[in-house]
Structure 1
Amino acid sequence: MIVSRYLTREILLTMSAVAGVLLLVIMGSRFIRYFTDAAQGELPLSALGTLMLFHMPSFLELVLPLSFFLAILLAYGQLYLNSEITVLVACGISPNRLLQVTLLPAALIAVLVGLCSLWLTPAGAAHNERLIDEQQSQLDFSLLTPGRFQDFGNDRTAYTQSLNDDRSRMQNVFISERQTGGNGSPQQVVTRAEGGYQTTDPDTGSRYLVLENGQRYSVEPGSPVAERLKFGSYGVRLATDDTGEVDVDSELMSTPELIADGDDESMAQLQWRISMPLMIPILTLLALPLARVNPRQGRFAKLLPAIFLHISYLSLLLAAQDAIARGSLPPSIGMWPIHLVYLALGLFLIRRDQARGGR
């Protein structure tokens, strides 16, 4: 029991360190991408934390299998270098017992990865997709940066000189947008006002930007005629409070929805989600014999071949997912042969390792 706790602690501590480094790299890359969008006015800064939080399950889904695989290689490699595994074997801890002890944390990590891949990752991806769509389709004070011209899509550019402290009112507003005139020809409409505020119609859910004390100019390209409208109060319709159905891909669908849908793309995504936790015990079988190193070789002797082995495993799964989604590979065959091949390889390496080291 003491040996089991010791080995499990060594694996989990090493895995935590490796996973922390990998998470910093992945999260940093994603954060820079979101921060760039926020700097361009496509996302509010206040939404960055929420987006990163809901992306965390997808990060863990990819990082944990690799981290656990590397943790076994590094932790057991160090134990081999210190001759601790040799002492354990001499005390009656057989390689089979060592495998059983290692499979305990592997089962824990597999459950955690399965929770992420089957439930948390699609839920978080769907939430982030809705949030980004809402922010990019609506002109909102939370997106406006005073003193900058910002593009809000739909051929609309807005500018405000300043916002008050609670961001409820704008001063010196400029809006340029392209519209269709009464005769069907495109028109460029420019509106400027001394101030403005946002309101929502409680009956229709439509959102309006109410501008005060300004002028509105409508110009048809190529025409010498322009229309000028002076107003004391003018409402610009921004968007409706539309929370209806949106087109989603298989990555945003929940696992029950994938099962109910049943098409090739859904089956490809479903098998990918199942493959993530299924990789953990197979990678454990591969890592244990690869962790055995000669003290003269060093603990990193087999690290590079092991990483290439993991990359080949993951790459084949991605290729199979793409083939299933395109319909060139039947879902009934799917990714299962790949898992069987690496499972057989792991069992072969385990048996060879036992034959060399004895039971």
Structure 2
Amino acid sequence: MLALHGILHDKPESALILFRYLTREVLLTMAAVTGILLLVIMGSRFIRYFGSAAEGDIPVTILGSLMLFHLPGFLELILPLAFFLGILLAYGQLYMNSEITVMVACGISPSRLLRVTLLPAAVVAVLVGLCSLWLTPAGALHNAATLEEQRSRLDVSLLAPGRFQDFGGGRTAYIGSFSDDGTLMQDVFVHQQGRRGDDFIHNYVTRAQRGYQETSPQTGSRFLVLEEGERYGVTPGRQETEHLAFERYTLRLGLSRDRRELDSLEYATTEELWNDDNPRAQAQWQWRAGLPLMVFVLALIAQPLSRVNPRQGRFAKLLPAVFLYVAYLSLLLAVVDAVGSGAWPVAAGVWPVHALFLLIGFGLLWHSQRKGMR
């Protein structure tokens, strides 16, 4: 503490040293909080994707790509909260160690401390803006297109040997094993249900020694080609049974080019939302543009809330601060929904919410300065 007192009295270098010291404390704490929150959220999403891969809905090879493109969407929400908690915990520790008391004694005013805090807040706001305005919609579009492509392909390469699995079109398949290069299937069993011009559901069971997938270069249609097998057709409630022995039998899987249009506003670029007068588009644009502003508002709220008595502990005001953040985010989401549904005017939008919590921050700061920093 004596070293800090001596440094702050060295006027030419005190401002730079103070900035580096406070910024390092805040950013290190923010990085720790970000890592923990990111690990929890990404772990939960990874478990969901891994379950889908285990069911054969998506291939394991795209899991890494899906998680990578989800990262901006996680960061745009985690970084404001992590920076908010970083200020609370870092400054709270400084109050506990009476370091801010030394700064005040050396002439560091609360307004100057706020200016130092807003500098790293600007960096965090730029990162959040990059995520919310550009990276998040681009990543969401990439993941949606990837998953839609997997659904439209109905690729039999998704099937795992030794298991009964659904691979689209009302088909259930069982494969004994794959060849070393993964192109040839051994001991293939396929069950399919369908209607054949009447109201009865027909069940078809096909068994083959070998099978492989091929694509028509002219039409883009994909086929499952089975060799050396038999096909049985039965209808519940009827005594007739169909039997067909074949050397080569082909099942049409679908078109590789068939895909649904991805026109959700979640995937639209920020420029497209800005030029769209639809209330839902404007609500989405205001949500994206408001997230960087949220960083500055939270920084203003966090500084006075970080002031604690050494006997209270650094976590004394953490719970009220988290409740305030939850109220901020919940009210913001509620107004975004109201704007999108037309229940709240687009001209007002989400900005009154930011203004309200900005006033709360100035009120807390004024109250803290009025009491004085001890």
TM-score w.r.t. structure 1 length?
Answer: 0.95
Q: Distance in 2 between matches of 1:197 and 1:261?
A: 48
Q: Distance in 2 between matches of 1:297 and 1:37?
A: 48
SS at 2:275's partner residue?
helix
Mark the runs of 5 or more structure 2 residues left unpaired by the alignment.
1-15
Instruction: State whether structure 2 residue 204 is matched by structure 1 residue 189.
Output: yes
Which of 261, 267, 289 is the equivalent residue of 1:246? 261
Instruction: State whether structure 2 residue 32 is matched by structure 1 residue 17.
Output: yes
Q: Structure 2 counterpart of 1:65, which letter?
A: P
Q: Distance in 2 between matches of 1:351 and 1:334?
A: 28
Instruction: State whether structure 2 residue 78 is matched by structure 1 residue 78.
Output: no
Which of 128, 131, 141 is the equivalent residue of 1:126? 141
Percent of counterpart pairs with the same letter?
A: 59
Which of 31, 38, 41 is the equivalent residue of 2:56? 41
Q: Structure 1 counterpart of 2:370, which letter?
A: A
Stretch deviating more after TM superposition (324-333 or 167-176): 324-333
Alignment correspondent of 2:280: 265
Q: Distance in 2 between matches of 1:291 and 1:303?
A: 8
Q: Deviations over 1:160-184 (max 9, x none)?
A: 0101122111101111122331457
SS at 1:261's partner residue?
coil
Q: Deviations over 1:72-118 (max 9, x none)?
A: 00000111111111111222221111111111110111111111111
TM-score w.r.t. structure 2 length?
Answer: 0.91
SS at 1:300's partner residue?
coil
SS at 2:308's partner residue?
coil
The answer as to whether partners of 1:141 and 1:168 remain within 8 angstroms in 2 is no
SS at 1:112's partner residue?
helix
Alignment correspondent of 1:228: 243
Residue 279 of structure 1, CA deviation: 0.6
Instruction: State whether structure 2 residue 336 is matched by structure 1 residue 321.
Output: yes
Aligned 1:57-206 pairs, distance under 5 A:
57-183=72-198, 186-206=201-221
Q: Distance in 2 between matches of 1:249 and 1:206?
A: 28
Residue 191 of structure 1, CA deviation: 1.7
The answer as to whether partners of 2:155 and 2:167 remain within 8 angstroms in 1 is no
Residue 272 of structure 1, CA deviation: 1.4
Alignment correspondent of 2:5: none
Which of 355, 358, 363 is the equivalent residue of 1:343? 358
Count of aligned pairs between the two proteins: 359
Aligned 1:295-310 pairs, distance under 5 A:
295-310=310-325
Stretch deviating more after TM superposition (38-47 or 131-140): 131-140
Instruction: State whether structure 2 residue 216 is matched by structure 1 residue 208.
Output: no
The answer as to whether partners of 2:149 and 2:259 remain within 8 angstroms in 1 is no
The answer as to whether partners of 2:194 and 2:201 remain within 8 angstroms in 1 is yes
The answer as to whether partners of 1:117 and 1:274 remain within 8 angstroms in 2 is yes
The answer as to whether partners of 1:189 and 1:216 remain within 8 angstroms in 2 is yes
Stretch deviating more after TM superposition (278-287 or 324-333): 324-333
The answer as to whether partners of 1:141 and 1:167 remain within 8 angstroms in 2 is no
Q: What is the RMSD computed on CA atoms of the aligned residues?
A: 1.8
Stretch deviating more after TM superposition (150-159 or 95-104): 150-159
Residue 30 of structure 1, CA deviation: 0.8
SS at 1:215's partner residue?
strand
